[in-house]
Amino acid sequence: MTENVTYGGYLKLNELLSCQQPRTGEHDELLFVILHQTMELWMKQAIHEISAAQAAVRAGDLVPAYKNLARVSRIQAVMTQTWDILATMTPADYLNFRAALGASSGFQSAQFRVLEYTLGLKDDFFLQYHAEGSEARAALEAALKAPSLYDDVLRQLAGAGFDIPQSVYERPSGARYAPHEAVEAAWLAVYRDTQAHWPFYQLAEKLIDLDDSFLTWRHKHVTTVERIIGRKRGTGGTDGVSYLQQTLTRRAFPEIWSMRTKL
Ligand code: HEM
User: Which residue segments constitute the domains of the chain, with CATH numbers given?
Assistant: 27-94+105-262 (1.20.58.480)
Compute, in angstroms, the gap from residue 226 CA to the centroid of ligand 1: 11
Which atom of ligand 1 is least distant from the CA of 244? Answer: 12
Per-residue pLDDT of the chain (263 residues; tens, 9 = 90+): 688 999 999 999 999 999 999 999 999 999 999 999 999 999 999 999 999 999 999 999 999 999 999 999 999 999 999 999 999 999 999 999 999 999 999 999 999 999 999 999 999 999 999 999 999 999 999 999 999 999 999 999 999 999 999 999 999 999 999 999 999 999 999 999 999 999 999 999 999 999 999 999 999 999 999 999 999 999 999 999 999 999 999 999 999 999 999 99
Q: Whose CA is nearest to atom 42 of ligand 1?
A: 106
Q: Is the CB of 237 under 6 A from ligand 1?
A: yes
Compute, in angstroms, the gap from residue 200 CA to the centroid of ligand 1: 34
Q: Is the CB of 80 under 6 A from ligand 1?
A: no
Which atom of ligand 1 is least distant from the CA of 98? Answer: 1
Q: Is the CB of 112 under 6 A from ligand 1?
A: yes
Tell me how far apart the alpha carbons of residues 227 and 241 are, in angstroms, rounded to a whole number: 10
Alpha helices in 59-192 (DSSP H): 62-86, 91-95, 110-119, 135-145, 149-159, 166-169, 181-192
Spell out the SS3 assignment of 130-144: CCCCCHHHHHHHHHH
Instruction: Return the percent helix, strand and coil in the chain, to nearest 5.
Output: 70, 0, 30
Phi-psi region at 230: left, alpha or beta (left = phi > 0; alpha = psi -120 to 50) = left
Mutate to test the pocket of ligand 1, among 105, 217, 224 (most ligand atoms within 8 A of CB): 105
Compute, in angstroms, the gap from residue 244 CA to the centroid of ligand 1: 8
- The maximal CA–CA distance of the chain, rounded, in angstroms, is 62
Compute, in angstroms, the gap from residue 142 CA to the centroid of ligand 1: 24
Q: Is the CB of 107 under 6 A from ligand 1?
A: yes
CA 240 from centre of chain: 19
